[in-house]
Chains A and B, each alone.
Chain A
């Protein structure tokens, strides 16, 4: 994920917190400077212009969910999230405008019960307006290869 500009907005943080079942903050909405939930970095997906086109239905682009029909399996859209790690240099705060850069990490394989499992790591660095690191995220995705 590489959102060039990830503005941390109070309404977005509120929606995200509610989706986790958290109580609303005192006063009903997050204030500038409040810490976002620990996994909020992942919501940068909303601001990533390259984020998988299969995951945003729009006229003219293919969508794999159901509509009039049950839908289709799109090649390359699979894979499961195996691990996620965050290192916090400081919390993400309402009012931050973050920049995200993603680099590929290590790749490895494991023999699974039903074929080869391929693991792929991605490292995303989130920096603030001053260029200081805020969060470093490492995600591991696993995909099954037909044996």
Chain B
């Protein structure tokens, strides 16, 4: 059964230098487990092998603090419409301080699926013909890391083979991904560990099952019984969960649908800060190392900000927050619906 822990305790228990890990969510926008990563940076963990998982803010913070040394991933971005490129990561890469292995997003998703179902590899068409499969661009092999000594690093980046069963062309075999630790953020978790996620899921279920250990941070820990009246709405059974941490607003500045929206101004400020190292350091001092704890970080945002970010219960997002140069229009029906 999962253990209920504080944020600090969970980070101390599950993190270590050189860990192979990944976290859930999607880019800078949905249920990024920011608080956990924020605390891990403050506790000083480094030399991380980041393996899959598609969040924007946690990887942005880890790169800003220079904690990831090896990364297998598909995207060096973070905030899409509010800040596309994660300059922290590209700066490290261009300086040769980050070993980065390019896969495509489908490949990473399928690698996680293989890990989650206990298969050592999986076949996919995605994306034949690309330089992603160019043997010259196998960064881990070039760094001498595919020698079989690290059980988390596959001996090959991929293999190409003909379909032996139906003759349907060539396929790419990609290795499973199995990190030591996965962290996801959910709206609610039962006190035994059953996880309920609302809104889009991204790759969180595969990620959860692919990892040896799973920490779930959440907005609320609720009585387990309340989640078992409609079990079809639950995503991950308690048996796979090792620790539960209640951290309200724990995904900020990404969103937690039906609780709060994403903080686009904050993401845009991060995007400006990362353009040079001095301003990034200043931003990190203010927002990561400055606050006494996560509660103080959220308090620092201010009550008005939190009021504007609070999500509406039918849509899951907020129309009070100013995302662009003009306020959101009041609509109760999509324009393209039922015409």
Do chains A and B interact in one complex?
no
Residues of B within 8 A of A (CB): none
